[in-house]
Structures are given as structure tokens and as C-alpha cells.
A and B are shown apart, each in its own frame.
Chain A
Amino acid sequence: MVSKLSQLQTELLAALLESGLSKEALIQALGEPGPYLLPADGPRDKGESCGGGRGELAELPNGLGEARGSEDETDDDGEDFTPPILKELENLSPEEAAHQKAVVETLLQEDPWRVAKMVKSYLQQHNIPQREVVDTTGLNQSHLSQHLNKGTPMKTQKRAALYTWYVRKQREVAQQFTHAGQGGLIEEPTGDELPTKKGRRNRFKWGPASQQILFQAYERQKNPSKEEREALVEECNRAECIQRGVSPSQAQGLGSNLVTEVRVYNWFANRRKEEAFRHKLAMDTYSGPPPGPGPGPTLPAHSSPGLPPPALSPSKVHGVRYGQPATSEGEEVPSSSGGPLVTVSAPLHQVSPTGLEPSHSLLSTEAKLVSATGGPLPPVSTLTALHSLEQTSPGLNQQPQNLIMASLPGVMAIGPGEPASLGPTFTNTGASTLVIGLASTQAQSVPVINSMGSSLTTLQPVQFSQPLHPSYQQPLMPPMQSHVAQSPFMATMAQLQSPHALYSHKPEVAQYTHTGLLPQTMLITDTTNLSALASLTPTKQVFTSDTEASSESGLHTPASQTTTIHIPSQDPAGIQHLQPAHRLSASPTVPSSSLVLYQSSDSNNGHSHLLPSNHSVIETFISTQMASSSQ
């Protein structure tokens, strides 16, 4: 039926139909009883009638998307490409159906990965859950996810189903937005694919644009009034519409993802609860006179989102306790074997030559930490180390150090043999490096800390298992805001981290805003260790929380991370050490084995004196660690 149309006519008709015009309306506008016969009348006639029709149509209100039900059923057919003839009248004109098929064919010819990216970005743009696609296409959810995210091949037949859904969805959404301005939808195809069948509405999901707005508002005021909330509702809906390329006046078209005042209210309530929880955790683990006031208690880098507080409390502030057994081994190389979390502050001593055994845990040379701990005394050797190391004025160093520790929820994981690993290298004297030994680990990583004046100490990565104290995030935020140049970003990051940590929520926001932000943070050289920590934090988080998505939030720029190390270090040489390690840490999502690989390559540049041979061992450890941490 379409064959008699010229291509331009087809294009124009498609445009008309996609703008929300139904076939019925078109036919009525044309005033022709037999639309199917039009093509047979000859191109000229059709052209005329179409021309006439178009003129009329221009004044017709856009036809409503009729028979959603029919479309739904068609979808139900498992993406049967040939809509039942009976539904044809309702389901778009034959031209539209043919047009859709043509588009699908075009997409199939294209490079599957490119189309997958297109579809994926569309899903993100409109905040459509994968579940909806799976339900209507009958594809396997895991397969679909892999195809869209990683490019796993998908058979043509299935891709056709996906593309068909995509094409139809676009039309539906376009119509939905069109009708939104006209007072409601017939059904809500976007939000509820099969209302009659399943009666399920898509779960509301915050879009990145809205979240950004909300976080900014949260910074200003944690408890907005009803008026403010309503204003935020408007703002968020407007942003969401713009993100979708739609006029904000048709916000109703957002369907299930429409932001309402209640949702904003809940969002604020949840953020407040989150903060209280983090604060509580911080307080729990905080023990002894805090060396640095900081925004939050100085916490050893325990934080791990989701770790039960009980696990944390024993670890105490400095985690020295945990480190104790480990620390007893070497002077600055506390072996963590079996030890719980250990906070390691890089001692100034030259540990590397002596202690880089994988089994060694972190060194906690943080005098403050150790001494501050009221609990179990660290091994004498450690104390000695601490005392000897402790030189700097507590004030300046402590704070940053504390903060660093605190804000290293995830920093701890450091590749074996890597001097610098994630451990933030801090200005020394006090052994600024923090290495966190994980409880269960056999610890391999021992941060090797160069005692020299350099702030960077090589740390052997310490793997820590889960118990990273989430409270780190709290101290992280304030320092970040004060120190980090890109504070808004970091604040967002921190905030992102928090929810991520606590609710296992994927920091998807990062996806939209991450570009370059992390690197920026990393590059802040004039900030204190905090920045290093801050930058490291995300990395660590990823490790412990074992979410792949989080890695995207900026961890994918290993290069940038290396820069961070530069920041606190006063000794350029020391920095070198850290760089390689740091790079390693930048790949949170990388499986532990690959992490190790990175480290290996890096270590070649860096400290050769570190025990590269540990890699394999470390690898095992890491694997173990990761496995254990993912419990």
C-alpha cells in the first residue's frame, strides 16, 4: 500500500503519523471512505488527496493514540512484527506499520553495537526500566543487559524484536507527551505496558537531572517546606522533560517517572535518614580523643557500605586493634593475617624492604590513632614506630590524616606490591598513608611506607574486606567541600557515595555527570589529603560494595587518579611510588585478577623493591578478599 507513494510522501506521512496522528484521524481528515484504495488510485490522486488531507490535518487536533490495547496485545505476541489485520485500523496506518518495519530493517542493517548504544541511551534518557523491555519483547533480561551494556551479540531475530519495541516505544512516548498536554492519557503505555494484563505500573525512578537538582537543594536546606518542595517538583519535572527533549508543559508525559511532591518529600526524608545513619556509624566507631576535629570523627578507613556496625565497632577508630596482631610482626609492617581491619598509616620508616610481605597488614603508624585508641594496645613495635614517626604537628596533619582515613571508605584496596595503591599518600611525618587491612585478609598488602620526608609512602595494598566504615563518607563530605576545588562535584560524589554505600544504590547519577569530574578532583593538588581521599573514596567504594556501576562514576580514569597522589606528597619521588599503585586502584570494577595485573605492570615502573613476586600471591589474596568482601 505504501509502494505508490514517493519517498518524500512517505517521509511526510511518517512525520505526520509520528506526530501523533492516528490513521483513523487521517482518513477522516481526508474525507475518504476507503483509505486502502487510495494508493490504487494512482500516485497523482493520492498525492492530491494526501495534500488535501494534510491541509485539513494541520487543523485537526492530533489524533489520540488509539487502541493502546491493540498495540499491547501486539507486543504481547512477542513482538510479532505483523500486527493482526484487525488491529490495523487502530494500530497506525499501514504506512506507519510499514514505516516501523522499515526503520527496524534499517536498524538491523546497522552496526548492532551502535544501535545498542542508541537504545541504551534512550532507556536512560527516559528512565525506562529494563524490565519493561523484557516483558514486552520476551528477551532474556540478562542477555538484553549484556547486549546493551557490553555488546554481547544478539541474534537478528531477537534484535529485531528489540528494535521493534524501540520504535514503538518512541512513538508511544511521543504520543504520550503529546496527549499529556491534552489532559491525560488513554492508557499509559510508557508507564504501564499492559495495564489490564498485569496491572503493574513501572516503579518510579529518579532521573539524574532531578537528582542533581535535589542534591543542590539538599545542600542549601535539608528540610524544605511544602512550597519549596513544590518548586522542586516543577524544577525536576522541567529538567526531566528537557532531558527527554520535550516541552516541560507536557510533564504528564513522564508517566510513571513523573516527580510529585510526595516523592520529593520522601527523597529528602531518606537523605536525612541516611545522613543520620552515617553520622551514627561514625560516632560508633569513633573512639578516643580525636586528633583532628574534622567534620567527622577520624575513622580508620573502614567504611564499607552495608557493613553491620558490629563489625565496625570492634575495629575502633584506628583499627589498630585489628592491626594489632598484624602489627606485632614487623615494626612497621603489621601483619594483618587474619586480622581485622587495620588502619594503616604509613609510617615513616622504610618498610618496604622489610615488610612487604603480602601477609603483612597495614601499618598503622598513625600515632594518633594508635595512642588515641583506648583499646588494646598496639604492639610495642608499632608504638615505637608511631612515636618515632610522629613528628608533625598534630594539628595539620592529623586532621587531614584523620579525614583521610575517615574518608577512605574504599581506598584501602591496594594492589599488592604497589607502593602507592589507593592509600592516600599524605604528607609524611606522620605517615600519612593509610592502609587498611582487611579483617579477613591474609593481608597481604602491607603498605610500604617510605619514611623519608616524602609524603608518599609505598603501601602495599591492603585488602580489606567489607568492613569499611561507611562513616567515612561523612567526614569525607565536609572536608571535600572545604578543600576540594570542585567541591560541588565532590560533594555530589560523596553524596553519591553515601547513598550508594548505604542503599546499594547505583550511583547512576554519575553517569550523566561524571565526565571529567573525577579527574578534576584528582587534579586538585593544592588541597590536602582530603582530595586524595576523596578521589580515592569512590574507588574504594567500588571495591567493597562490589557494584560495577559505581566504577563508572569516575573511576575509569586511572590516569587522573595518579595525579591525586601528587597532591599531598611533598616528595616527588614518593609520588612516583604511588602512581603506579594508584593507577591500579582506578579500576574498581576490574576483577581482582585484572587489578593485580595492573599493579604488576605498574610496579615495574615503581618500586621495584617491592615484592613483585607477590603478585600472584596477592592475586589470590585479592580474589579472596573480593570474594569475601562481596559476601
Chain B
Amino acid sequence: MAGKAHRLSAEEREQLLPNLRAVGWNELEGRDAIFKQFHFKDFNRAFGFMTRVALQAEKLDHHPEWFNVYNKVHITLSTHECAGLSERDINLASFIEQVAVSMT
């Protein structure tokens, strides 16, 4: 199990979320989760991205909620165990950013 599943405190959020917000992650209304939309050149890249994220998700044992249509990928991250954001979401989000940057 990677990371902890406890809900992030306000302090932790203040510390960790700004970095993600800066790259485009938004907090959802009505739900304690973060969301971002990715856009790729074509389906292949999008799915390649998703594959990488998927493999990492398996590794981290923390999976995203996502939607994909052709070259767009919408990702929502939340932890069901704590019904909100946790460290795992932050970690996965960071990884997703890294992959997205290194791809297209």
C-alpha cells in the first residue's frame, strides 16, 4: 500500500494543493476531489498516457476516475476510504503531471 488514506487536513491541503492547482488541477464542488482535463494530439497518445498512468495506479494501488474520448482525458482523483482527498491522490496527481509533461 502506498501512501496513507487519511483525509488531508486543511493545513496539508494548503501546503500540497497549490502546486497542483498551479498546473491546472481544480477542486470539485460538492465533492472532495481534484479534477483535471488533459488534451493530447490523438487517441494513441492519449491512450498511451492512460496506460502509463494505469500501470502506475496499479503500482500505487490507487486508481483514478477517468473519462476518455478520443484525445481527451478527464481525470478525477479522490480516495474512497476517507471519502475525500488523501496523500495518495496527491502522489498520483504528481505522477500524472510528470507523465503528461514527458509525453505530449
Which A residues lie at the B interface, using CB under 8 A?
A: 7-8, 10-12, 14-16, 18-19, 58, 62, 118, 170, 178, 181, 241-250
Choose one: B47, B55, B60; the contact of A11 (CB below 8 Å). B47
Contact across chains for B94 and A246 when beta carbons are under 8 A apart? yes
Q: Closest approach, in angstroms, between the C-beta of B82 and any C-beta of chain A?
A: 17
Does B37 lie at the interface of the complex (its beta carbon under 8 Å from any beta carbon of A)?
no
**Which of the residues B3, B43, B91 comes within 8 Å of A8, measured between beta carbons?**
B43
List B82-96 residues whose CB lies under 8 Å from chain A. Answer: 87-88, 90-91, 94-95
Alpha-carbon distance between A181 and B2 when the two chains are bound, in angstroms: 9
A245-B94, A245-B97, A249-B2 known; 20 new pairs, CB 8 Å cut-off, are: A8-B43, A11-B48, A12-B47, A12-B48, A14-B48, A19-B52, A19-B56, A62-B59, A241-B91, A242-B91, A242-B94, A244-B94, A245-B98, A246-B94, A246-B95, A247-B60, A247-B88, A247-B91, A247-B95, A248-B91
Shortest distance between the CB of A259 and any CB in chain B (Å): 18
CB-CB contacts below 8 Å: B40-85 with A: 43-45, 47-48, 51-52, 55-56, 58-60
| Bound CA span A113–B95, Å | 24
The answer to whether A15 and B95 touch across the interface, beta carbons within 8 angstroms, is: no
* Nearest Cβ on chain B to A369's Cβ, whole angstroms: 43
Q: How far apart sit A243 and B19, CA to CA, in the bound complex (Å)?
A: 10
Evaluate whether A11 and B51 lie within 8 angstroms (CB atoms) in the complex, with A19-B56, A246-B94 already known. Answer: yes
Interface centre among B2, B51, B60 (most CB of A within 10 A): B51
Q: Which chain B residue lies CB-closest to A11?
A: B48
Let me know if B3 and A247 touch, CB within 8 A.
Answer: yes
When distances are taken between beta carbons in the complex, the residues of chain B under 8 Å from A12 are: 47-48, 51
Q: Are A170 and B48 in contact (CB under 8 A)?
A: no
Contacts of B102 in A (CB 8 A): 170
A99 to chain B, nearest CB (A): 10
A244 to B59, CA, bound (A): 16
Q: Is B28 an interface residue, CB under 8 A from the partner?
A: no
Which of A16, A62, A178, A246 sits near B51, CB closer than 8 Å?
A16
Give the residues in chain A near B90, CB-CB below 8 Å: 242
Q: How far is the CB of B17 from chain A (nearest CB, A)?
A: 12
Contact check, B51 vs A15: say whether CB atoms are below 8 A apart: yes
With the chains together, A315 CA to B97 CA distance in Å? Answer: 54
User: What is the minimal beta-carbon distance from A299 to any residue of chain B, in angstroms?
Assistant: 36
Give B102 Cβ to nearest chain A Cβ, in Å.
7
Cβ contact of A15, chosen from B43, B48, B60, B101, cutoff 8 A: B48
Q: How far is the CB of B38 from chain A (nearest CB, A)?
A: 15
Assess whether B3 is in contact with A15, with CB atoms less than 8 Å apart: no
- Give 30 A-B contacts (CB < 8 Å), ordered by A residue: A7-B44, A8-B43, A8-B44, A8-B48, A10-B44, A11-B45, A11-B48, A15-B55, A16-B51, A16-B55, A19-B52, A19-B55, A19-B59, A58-B58, A178-B59, A241-B91, A243-B94, A244-B94, A245-B94, A245-B95, A245-B98, A246-B91, A246-B95, A247-B3, A247-B59, A247-B60, A247-B91, A248-B2, A249-B3, A250-B2
CB distance from B44 to the nearest CB of A (A): 5
CB-defined contacts of A8 to chain B, threshold 8 Å:
43-44, 47-48
Which residues of A have CB within 8 Å of B47?
Answer: 8, 11-12
In the assembled complex, the Cα of A12 lies from the Cα of B49 at a distance in Å of 9
**Complex contacts, A242 vs chain B, CB 8 Å:** 16, 90-91, 94
Measured between alpha carbons, how far is A466 from B51 in the docked complex, in Å?
57
Interface of B is mostly: helix
- For B48, B87, B97, B101, which residue has the most chain A Cβ atoms within 10 angstroms? B48
**Residue in B45, B58, B59, B60 with the greatest tally of chain A CB atoms within 10 Å:** B59
Bound complex: CA A7 to CA B47 (Å):
11
Cα distance A279–B89 when bound, in Å?
A: 45
CB distance from B29 to the nearest CB of A (A): 26
Q: State the Cβ distance, A143 to closest chain B Cβ, in Å.
A: 25
Q: How far is the CA of A49 from the CA of B47 in the complex (A)?
A: 20
For chain B, residues 1 to 24, give those with C-beta under 8 angstroms from any C-beta of chain A: 1-3, 16
Partner of B87 from A118, A181, A245, A248 at Cβ < 8 Å = A248
6 tightest A-B CB contacts, nearest first:
A11-B48, A245-B98, A15-B51, A245-B94, A19-B55, A247-B2
A317 → chain B, closest Cβ, in Å? 42
Bound together, the chains give a CA A178 to CA B56 distance in angstroms of 9
Find out whether the CB atom of B52 lies under 8 angstroms from the CB atom of A18. yes
- Closest approach, in angstroms, between the C-beta of A540 and any C-beta of chain B? 30
**In the complex, are the beta carbons of A11 and B44 less than 8 A apart?**
yes
Which chain A residues border B51 with CB–CB below 8 Å? Answer: 11-12, 15-16
A248 to chain B, nearest CB (A): 7
Residue of A nearest to B59 (CB): A178
Within the complex, the shortest CB–CB distance from B103 to chain A, in Å, comes to 9
> A244 to chain B: which residues have CB within 8 Å?
94, 98
Q: Which residues of B contact A250 (CB under 8 A)?
A: 2
Please name all residues of chain A whose beta carbon is closer than 8 Å to the beta carbon of B95 when the two chains form the complex.
Answer: 245-247
Say how far A588's CB is from chain B's closest CB, in angstroms.
Answer: 27
Min distance, Cβ B70 to any Cβ of chain A, angstroms: 12
CA separation between A170 and B101, bound complex, in Å?
Answer: 12
**A2 CA to B98 CA in the complex, in Å?**
26
Residues of B within 8 A of A243 (CB): 94
Bound form: Cα–Cα A18–B94 in Å = 17
Chain A residues whose C-beta falls within 8 Å of the C-beta of B3 in the assembled complex: 247-249
Task: Please indicate the chain B residues that have their CB under 8 angstroms from the CB of A249 in the complex.
Answer: 1-3
Q: How far is the CA of A242 from the CA of B55 in the complex (A)?
A: 18
C-alpha spacing A247/B87, complex, angstroms: 9
A18 to B49 alpha-carbon distance, docked (Å): 11
- Least Cβ distance of B90 to chain A in Å? 7
CB distance from B53 to the nearest CB of A (A): 9
Docked pose: A307 CA to B60 CA in angstroms? 51
Cα separation A474 to B91 with both chains bound (whole Å): 38
Q: Which residue of A lies closest to B48 (CB)?
A: A11
What are the residues of chain B within 8 A of A248 when measuring CB–CB?
A: 2-3, 87, 91
> Which B residues lie within 8 Å of A62 (CB)?
59
Q: How far is the CB of A150 from chain B (nearest CB, A)?
A: 22
Alpha-carbon distance between A501 and B38 when the two chains are bound, in angstroms: 44
Report how far A16 CA is from B55 CA in the complex, Å. Answer: 8
Q: Considering the chains assembled together, what is the distance between the CA atoms of A241 and B94 in angstroms?
A: 10
Q: Report how far A18 CA is from B55 CA in the complex, Å.
A: 10
Contacts of B52 in A (CB 8 A): 15, 18-19
**Distance A242 CA – B56 CA, assembled complex (angstroms):** 14
Q: Which residues of B contact A181 (CB under 8 A)?
A: 2, 59
Which residue of chain A is the closest to B94 with respect to CB atoms?
Answer: A245
